[in-house]
Amino acid sequence: MRQRLILHADLDAFFASVEQRDRPEYRARPVVVGAEPGRRGVVAACSYEARRYGVHSAMPISEAVRRLPPETVYVRPRMAVYAAVSREVLAALATISPVVEPVSIDEAYLDVSGLERLFGSPEAIGRRARDAVREAVGLSASVGIGPNRLVAKLASEHRKPDGLTVIPREGVQDFLDPMPLPVLHGVGAKTARALERMGLRTVGDVRRVAIEELRRRLGRVAGARLYERCRGIASDTVNPGTSRKSISKEITFEEDIRDLEMLRDTLRWAAREVGHVARREGLKGTVVTLKIRLEGFETHTRTHTLSVPTARDQVIFREGWALFQAGDWSERPVRLLGVGIAGWKADAGTDDQGDLFGGAESGPKPKEERIYQALDAVTAKFGKGTVGFGVPRRKG
């Protein structure tokens, strides 16, 4: 049977690297993307120059400022720009393989099984993927290739930045065994402490424990999952997309985020993306969904049904942000945030400015419809992130 080859491409220090690319004067300087100095908030991402000072994502901005030198650059996130670059990266990766699955704004899986006949060895395929990204957007990506998604992702993290690691099936166990347990998806701080109390600190340590013991200590599902992951058993399927039942956009932060302004900006970007796709496909929906993941992979979805179908960025954002505010999450760190729309109406009629959990403003908005048409025309010609529909900022 043909060996499966899964490639994971992960852009290096993505947000900060985009800022350094676009502003040459930022290059070779520490760059922090996130909260501004003197304000409450955290580091969303930082350049490798900043990481040398011990700064990392989710660190309070006050602590980062204390550690970093005066020449450090602090910038607010530009989500629309990052999203536009991400789309260029995906298009570049699609020249390597038609089976591409984006999993966040800065990473994607490719099924490259059988491509050796076209491009050569797995190492040659990996170099081709890195070169395609660099030529398309001027950024570096780390690439890992393995027999499944788990191994490919760990391989991409192995030699960052600008790394390339290929793990053949027969080398999986040698690769995994020395790794500390927290590198495995699902092994959080609580699970790691429980395993340490058993004297288990590496993947190899856990691999020598019987599955029955792991199930007894961690529960049947979690124990069995850990047993498999320590043996490199994972999915080797890449899903490029399915039929359109809904439209959604989300982002997984590198580290948990508490900064409400950044969360609000992220949701605004996601709503803009969703609205653009919906209008392009001639769809209007009545169900807005907020998705949020907190620490420990605690995931929630909240939905609200509109009285009038919409494809408008403003409505999607306002309803999504209202759902966020209605939840008890404002003080909790967020790992993932996104918004979507579904509940398509064949006879959409004229939508409105939304209802914010209340009565809709009735009546057509022809002027605003023309504005959206103009914005979409500019986007089609010059690319996403060029212009957008303004949404006033507000506290909270």
* CA distance linking residue 77 with residue 231, whole number of Å: 39
* CA distance linking residue 237 with residue 257, whole number of Å: 30
Phi, psi of 142 (to 5 degrees): -95, 140
**b/e burial code for range 51-89 (CB count within 10 A of at least 16 → b):** eeeebebbbbbeebbeebeeebbbbebbbbbbbbbbbeb
Residue of 271, 308, 312 whose CA lies nearest to 289: 271
* CA distance linking residue 148 with residue 185, whole number of Å: 14
The DSSP annotation for 289-354 comes to: EEEEEEGGGEEEEEEEEEEEEE--HHHHHHHHHHHHHHSS-TTS-EEEEEEEEEEE-SS-----S-
Q: Which residues are catalytic?
A: 107
According to DSSP, residue 220 is labeled H
The dihedral region occupied by 275, where left means phi > 0, alpha psi between -120 and 50, and beta the remainder, is alpha
**b/e burial code for range 165-182 (CB count within 10 A of at least 16 → b):** bbbeeeebeebbbeeebe
